């Protein structure tokens, strides 16, 4: 097989695997079903990826790379030294941009595979979960923590961590209960512009809460 043919086969396997893992989860997906959907034989799947776990990780890493690319495109990736030079408005804009990317991936429109893959992984963890945490969840969380720490100086590390989890949880809520939310909204899908409006709301709401947790604000409330 030519290099171009091998690349095409590998890409078809990756596309088929992404769809099936999203539909059935890691445990409910078989290599033979992936090969059938990709229109290749099982041997090709084993040759290109070696195992179901390796193929699953390749799918997830492709999703992670897409998120990284979107963050970079929105200028939402900054080093700690760069963050230290930014003002409150710019830092809040970075936080909002990150929430917007998260929502674009999770709820669209149209919703991406990432949200479905992550929901299935969290409900029925696979042996790949430690890799997912180490390669994606932990690094992205640390980057958000750097932004929050600069936005609200004086917060201790544990409070910063909880603030970031709270921000992410608001975004993931709209994906995890999407069928019920759409019924409540009376819409077949989240309308255009919804993720932008929601990102702005989550950012403003979260900043209000985080600033209430600042040491000076806490002391003022206790003595009021």
- Residues of the chain with pLDDT > 90, as a percent, come to 81
Domain boundaries, given as residue ranges, for the chain: 1-50, 60-223
Q: Which of 48, 55, 52, 43 is nearest to 15 (CA)?
A: 55
* 1-50 carries CATH number 1.10.10.60: yes
Cβ burial of 157 (10 Å; 0-12, 13-18, 19+) is: exposed
d(Cα 44, Cα 14) in Å, to the nearest integer? Answer: 12
At how many degrees (to 10) do helices 178-185 and 157-176 cross?
A: 60
d(Cα 105, Cα 115) in Å, to the nearest integer? Answer: 7
CATH fourth-level superfamily of 60-223: Tetracycline Repressor, domain 2 (1.10.357.10)
d(Cα 117, Cα 173) in Å, to the nearest integer? Answer: 15
> Measured over all CA atoms, what is the biggest interatomic distance in the chain, rounded to whole angstroms?
76
pTM of full prediction above 0.75: yes
Cβ burial of 195 (10 Å; 0-12, 13-18, 19+) is: buried
pLDDT of residue 112: 79
How does residue 222 score in pLDDT terms, banded at 50, 70 and 90?
A: low
pLDDT in tens, 133-173: 999 999 999 999 999 999 999 999 999 999 999 999 999 99
Residue 119 and residue 107 in contact, taking contact as beta carbons nearer than 8 Å:
no
d(Cα 104, Cα 110) in Å, to the nearest integer? Answer: 8
Residue 200 and residue 96 in contact, taking contact as beta carbons nearer than 8 Å:
yes
Q: What is the rounded average pLDDT of the residues 91-120?
A: 92
């Amino acid at each position: 097989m030519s290099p171009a043919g091998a690349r095409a086969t590998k890409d078809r396997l990756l596309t088929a695997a992404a769809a099936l893992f999203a539909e059935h989860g890691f445990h409910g997906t078989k290599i033979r079903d992936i090969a059938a959907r990709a229109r290749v034989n099982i041997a090709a799947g084993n040759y290109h990826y070696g195992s179901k776990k390796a193929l699953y990780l390749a799918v997830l890493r492709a999703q992670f790379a897409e998120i990284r690319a979107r963050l970079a495109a929105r200028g939402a990736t900054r080093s700690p030294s760069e963050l230290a030079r930014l003002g409150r408005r710019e830092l809040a804009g970075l936080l909002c941009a990150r929430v917007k990317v998260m929502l674009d991936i999770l709820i669209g429109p149209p919703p991406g595979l990432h949200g479905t893959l992550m929901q299935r992984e969290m409900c029925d963890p696979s042996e790949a979960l430690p890799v997912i945490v180490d390669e994606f969840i932990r690094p992205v969380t640390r980057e958000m923590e750097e932004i929050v720490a600069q936005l609200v100086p004086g917060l201790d590390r544990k409070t910063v961590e909880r603030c970031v989890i709270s921000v992410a949880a608001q975004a993931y809520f709209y994906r995890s209960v999407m069928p019920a939310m759409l019924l409540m909204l009376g819409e077949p899908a989240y309308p255009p512009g919804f993720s932008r409006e929601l990102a702005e709301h989550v950012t403003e709401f979260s900043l209000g809460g985080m600033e209430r947790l600042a040491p000076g604000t806490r002391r003022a409330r206790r003595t009021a």
